[in-house]
Amino acid sequence: MITIQREKELRATIRQQKSQGKRIGFVPTMGNLHDGHIALVKQALSICDYVVTSIFVNPLQFGANEDLDKYPRTLEADKDRLVQAGNHALFLPKTDQIYPEGLDQHTKVVVPSLTQDHCGASRPGHFDGVTTVVSILFNMVQPDVAVFGQKDFQQLAVIRKMAQDLHMPVTVEGHPTVREEDGLAMSSRNGYLDASQRKVATFLYQTLQQTADKLQNSFSSKPVNEDFAQLETDARAKLTEAGFRPDYYNIVASNTLRPATADDKEITILAAAYLGTTRLIDNISITL
């Protein structure tokens, strides 16, 4: 695996690979790589000839009171994992390469339609930071395919919309959430949990499964708006009882991320909840 820091070197590498007819895969990450990230790299390797993974902890997507400073940075272990996975190039840009005049002066990419609710409501400006950095990275790497995890369901939808609206010549692929044995979605933020919080954390996915099960099996005809609202209220109460501080628990139409209605067949349940100061997110998609 080669490690690249400079944009010029990255562009030369990509140009050379493309001149040999190679299809470029890209996996943008913020590092602290776990099996979920490695699954994205493996998916990219299975459909592309040359895979670039980036590690950049993007300050623009963190709010003022969020965990930018303590976000885990584990570069040497990350490199080992990428080599083992067969990743070809690691791109490691510096903050002043990405935002040379600082965050405030930098041009922003904003996707208004899918970013108002859910994580967008709880973390104002977060998705503008994500879409801005992903656009910059797409322009630098020029991938044919980019792979993102479905754990960040709203992020994936927002990036797909951005790529479509801006006619970006890249196919955006999603990879199913990779889970620990007890069902907890893998996330770099799981490392913030203490032992007792870690035990409780699995209850987030169990609650999502219970709601999904009820949606699929408890209604003789299709669930209606009041049923969705009741299921959301029940789930929030259960999470609170288990020791979480729920942020949101929303049953939505999978394609619009708007509240589900009786007409929707493709449904996603989106959840975010705090254990102490750690914010966990997860989701389940079902067909009714």
Catalytic residue numbers, as ranges: 37
Q: Which is nearer to ligand PAF, 3 or 16 (CB)?
A: 3
Query: Distances from the Cα of 226 to the Cαs of 230, 233, 251, in angstroms?
Result: 6, 10, 12
Cβ 155 to ligand PAF shortest distance, Å: 6
Q: Identify the residue among 4, 51, 130, 271 touching ligand PAF (CB under 6 A).
A: 130
Contacts of 9 (CB under 8 A, 6+ apart): none
Q: Which of the ranges 3-11, 130-138, 164-172, 229-237 carries the binding residues for ligand PAF, by CB under 6 A?
A: 130-138
The answer to whether 222 and 288 are in contact (CB under 8 A) is yes
Q: What are phi and psi of 123, to 5 degrees?
A: -125, 75
Interface with ligand PAF, residue 143, by CB under 6 A? no
Q: Using CB under 6 A, which of 58, 142, 150, 278 touches ligand PAF?
A: 58
Residue 29 interacts with ligand PAF (CB under 6 A): yes or no: yes
Q: How far is the CB of 144 from ligand PAF (least distance, A)?
A: 18
Region of 3-11, 28-36, 114-122, 272-280 interacting with ligand PAF (CB under 6 A): 28-36
| Cα–Cα distance, 207 to 239 (Å, whole number) | 8
Distance, in Å, from the CA atom of 180 to the CA atom of 176, rounded to the nearest integer, reads: 13
Q: Which of 250, 95, 279, 75 is nearest to 190 (CA)?
A: 279
Nearer to ligand PAF, 99 or 228 (CB): 99
The correct pick among 33, 40, 90, 134 for binding ligand PAF (CB under 6 A) is 134
Q: Does 152 bind ligand PAF (CB under 6 A)?
A: yes
DSSP SS3 for 157: helix
Minimum CB separation of residue 134 from ligand PAF in Å reads 6
Query: Which residue among 10, 30, 157, 271 contacts ligand PAF (CB under 6 A)?
Result: 30
Are the C-beta atoms of residues 23 and 138 closer than 8 Å to each other? Answer: no
> Exactly one of 24, 133, 141, 184 binds ligand PAF (CB under 6 A); which one?
133
Q: What DSSP element (H or E) covers 252? A: strand 245-253
Does residue 45 sit in helix, strand or coil?
A: helix
Instruction: Please name every residue paired with 171 in a beta bridge, in sequence order, or none if there are none.
Output: 145
- By C-beta, is 187 or 211 nearer to ligand PAF? 187
Under the phi-then-psi rule, with left for phi > 0, alpha for psi from -120 to 50, and beta for the rest, what region is 32?
A: left
DSSP letter at 59 equals G
Q: Which stretch binds ligand PAF (CB under 6 A): 23-31, 102-110, 114-122, 228-236?
A: 23-31
What whole-number distance in Å separates Cα of residue 133 and Cα of residue 161?
Answer: 15
Q: Which of 10, 17, 24, 28 binds ligand PAF (CB under 6 A)?
A: 28
Q: Which amino acid is at 150?
A: Q
Interface size with ligand PAF, residues (CB under 6 A): 10
Contact residues toward ligand PAF (CB under 6 A) are 28-30, 58, 61, 130, 133-134, 152, 155
